[in-house]
């Protein structure tokens, strides 16, 4: 006997979980630098346009697919149109790949929360991170060894993640979101408040928000804006389809997308204020321009911020709050990513939640623990993250939109479904943005990225390593999605009977 599909306890619980998925590490360490590099305050205009013409329409689309077909991506796309099923499995594989390395960064944040007490990184945070803590090898070749200081917190991260998932959607994911998201908001407000009081904070904010209006005419700035919105909202790899499948029959889909989209963007702007106010302090302390100390990613979080923490009054407290915020933001996103994999296998096999979490989540955790807490781990993380983002998430999103909008011609029936219970109705404008604007922008992003990729090797890595750890993962996700869709799944929730929509398209 199959379990009845779980449901969120309240709309607020769903929204907190959706916001928790969207608000992740990239909001804190990617958005501020992207904005700074692409026109500063002027970047907010294309960013807002991208949010309204791609981000929120894509959220509404994914919410509606999940809610209408009440399933995780593979089954939802199967019920939409049988040939579309590989897209769902493609998204599942993307989530699996992201989960195995995303947990590693959370484990670093856990350790650096402790390192902040006593500023264990000493006078050279970069050497401490890569040599003392990660014991990073010079190149991803030859022998490697496991790093216990990384493996132990990584195991702890997976124990917490799988425990939350095993408890269930309402009692596990929703309760965790109700605790983590308000806590994250409080911690980050404290962090930003302290950053704004630092000497030099105003110079950092001027660097971030002073508009360079000439950037508006630069096409790469608009591509960067759409890319940031696309990657920060957790669209394109099945999370929002899965989460929306647990909504009640009467749900405000478009209103929820507006709340989640603007909440995510508000957090990004808040993160930008906190990060650049802090970088302004660092610039004032060293006598360098803000542009010389501005960075992003791992370098910002685990090198630049420790340097700042060491030099500021009460820096240890600031460090604990910052890295605790990273940990919480990462955990809420990781939970949502693994949930896609667990739910998809459960939907197609009929496995109950606890066995599905233990088997599917357990395999994901084992792969993560075996591959990444090693002296080669950062090299693999860097390359896999780059290729799965550029040629996994973005390409999967592009294919999904083209298939739904043009091949299946499903936007009209999906908009009708969304309008049945949504406060904000969607219509022709929504269909135009998804059918024209989003495919054009995503297609241009793919072309631009691929052109740069073929011009020179990413970060100077060898061609063999990029083929084995980068292209193999990206292409393998596509092939794997097709293969999984062809398997004769037994015992799972069967597709709903085919229906004919108002445009005559059989699904």
pLDDT at 507: 31
**For residues 209-213, average pLDDT:** 92
Say which range, 4-13, 221-230, 471-480, has the weakest mean pLDDT: 221-230
**For residues 320-328, average pLDDT:** 95
pLDDT at 227: 81
pLDDT at 488: 80
The per-residue pLDDT for range 377-390, each reduced to its tens digit, is: 898 898 898 888 87
**Do 364 and 342 form a contact (C-beta atoms < 8 A)?**
no
CA distances from 330 to 55, 107, 490 (A): 21, 9, 34
* CA–CA separation, 69 and 404 (whole Å): 14
pLDDT band of residue 368 (cuts 50, 70, 90) is: very high
- Name the nearest CA neighbour of 385 among 25, 22, 23: 25
pLDDT at 302: 94
The full length of the chain comes to: 507
* CA–CA separation, 62 and 136 (whole Å): 39
Does the pLDDT of residue 495 top 70, yes or no?
no
Does the pLDDT of residue 1 top 80, yes or no?
no
pLDDT at 503: 36
pLDDT at 500: 35
pLDDT at 166: 97
SS3 142: coil
In the chain, the percentage of residues whose pLDDT exceeds 90 is 66
SS3 73: helix
The per-residue pLDDT for range 448-468, each reduced to its tens digit, is: 878 878 888 887 888 888 888
Does the pLDDT of residue 492 top 60, yes or no?
no
pLDDT at 491: 56
Say which range, 90-99, 120-129, 141-150, 271-280, has the weakest mean pLDDT: 141-150
pLDDT at 43: 93
**For residues 17-32, average pLDDT:** 90
Name the pTM for this structure. Answer: 0.92
Looking up tokens 């321009």 gives: 289
Looking up tokens 């990584």 gives: 154
pLDDT at 498: 39
Looking up tokens 């005419």 gives: 217
Does the pLDDT of residue 356 top 90, yes or no?
yes
pLDDT at 217: 87
The per-residue pLDDT for range 469-483, each reduced to its tens digit, is: 888 888 999 999 999
pLDDT at 393: 85
**Do 367 and 103 form a contact (C-beta atoms < 8 A)?**
no
- Name the nearest CA neighbour of 310 among 64, 128, 39, 57: 128
Does the pLDDT of residue 501 top 70, yes or no?
no
pLDDT at 236: 86
- Name the nearest CA neighbour of 473 among 382, 351, 345, 354: 382
Kindly report the CATH number that applies to the domain delimited by 11-486. 1.20.1740.10
Between the CA atoms of 24, 396, 336 and 438, what dihedral angle is there, to the nearest 10 degrees? Answer: 60
Does the pLDDT of residue 430 top 90, yes or no?
yes
Half-sphere exposure at residue 273, Cβ-oriented, CA atoms within 13 angstroms = 15
Paired with 374 in beta bridges are 146
Mean pLDDT of the residues in the chain:
90
* CA–CA separation, 273 and 185 (whole Å): 14
pLDDT at 428: 93
Does the pLDDT of residue 446 top 50, yes or no?
yes
The per-residue pLDDT for range 129-187, each reduced to its tens digit, is: 999 999 998 877 767 789 999 999 999 999 999 999 999 999 999 999 999 999 999 99
């Amino acid at each position: 006997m199959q379990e009845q599909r779980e449901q969120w306890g309240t709309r607020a619980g769903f929204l907190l979980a959706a916001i928790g998925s969207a608000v992740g590490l990239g909001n804190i360490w990617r958005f501020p630098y992207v904005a700074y590099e692409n026109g500063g305050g002027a970047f907010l205009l294309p960013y807002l346009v991208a949010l309204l013409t791609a981000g929120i329409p894509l959220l509404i689309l994914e919410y509606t697919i999940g809610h209408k077909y009440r399933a995780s991506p593979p089954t939802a796309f199967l019920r939409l149109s049988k040939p579309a099923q590989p897209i769902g499995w493609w998204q599942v594989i993307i989530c699996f790949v992201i989960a195995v390395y995303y947990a590693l960064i959370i484990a670093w944040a856990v350790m650096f929360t402790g390192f902040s007490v006593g500023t264990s990184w000493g006078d050279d945070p970069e050497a401490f991170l890569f040599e003392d803590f990660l014991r990073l090898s010079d190149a991803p070749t030859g022998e490697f060894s496991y790093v216990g200081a990384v493996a132990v917190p990584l195991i702890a991260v997976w124990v917490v993640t799988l425990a939350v998932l095993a408890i269930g959607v309402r009692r596990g994911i929703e309760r965790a979101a109700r605790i983590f998201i308000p806590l994250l908001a409080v911690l980050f407000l404290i962090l930003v408040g302290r950053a704004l009081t630092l000497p030099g904070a105003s110079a950092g904010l001027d660097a971030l928000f002073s508009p360079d209006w000439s950037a508006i005419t630069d096409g790469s700035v608009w591509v960067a804006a759409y890319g940031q919105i696309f990657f920060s909202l957790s669209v394109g790899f099945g999370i929002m389809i899965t989460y929306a499948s647990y909504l009640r029959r009467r749900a405000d889909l478009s209103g929820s997308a507006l709340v989640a989209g603007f909440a995510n963007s508000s957090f990004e702007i808040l993160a930008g204020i906190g990060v650049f106010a802090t970088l302004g302090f660092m610039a004032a302390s060293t006598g360098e321009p803000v542009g010389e100390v501005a960075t992003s990613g791992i370098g910002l979080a685990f090198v630049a911020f420790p340097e700042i923490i060491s030099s500021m009054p009460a820096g240890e407290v600031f460090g604990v709050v910052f890295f605790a915020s990273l940990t919480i933001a990462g955990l809420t996103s990781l939970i949502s990513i693994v949930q896609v994999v667990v739910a998809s296998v459960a939907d197609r096999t009929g496995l109950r939640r606890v066995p599905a979490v233990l088997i599917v989540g357990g395999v994901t955790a084992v792969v993560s623990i075996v591959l990444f807490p090693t002296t080669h781990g950062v090299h693999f993380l860097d390359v896999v993250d780059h290729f799965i983002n550029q040629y996994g998430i973005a390409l999967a999103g592009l294919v999904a939109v083209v298939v739904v909008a043009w091949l299946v011609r499903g936007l009209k029936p999906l908009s009708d479904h969304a309008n049945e219970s949504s406060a904000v109705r969607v219509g022709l404008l929504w269909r135009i943005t998804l059918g024209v604007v989003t495919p054009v922008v995503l297609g241009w992003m793919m072309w631009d990225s691929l052109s740069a990729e073929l011009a020179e090797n990413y970060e100077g890595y060898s061609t063999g390593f990029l083929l084995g750890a980068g292209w193999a993962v990206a292409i393998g996700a596509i092939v794997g999605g097709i293969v999984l869709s062809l398997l004769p799944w037994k015992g799972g929730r069967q597709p709903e009977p085919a229906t004919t929509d108002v445009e005559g398209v059989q699904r």
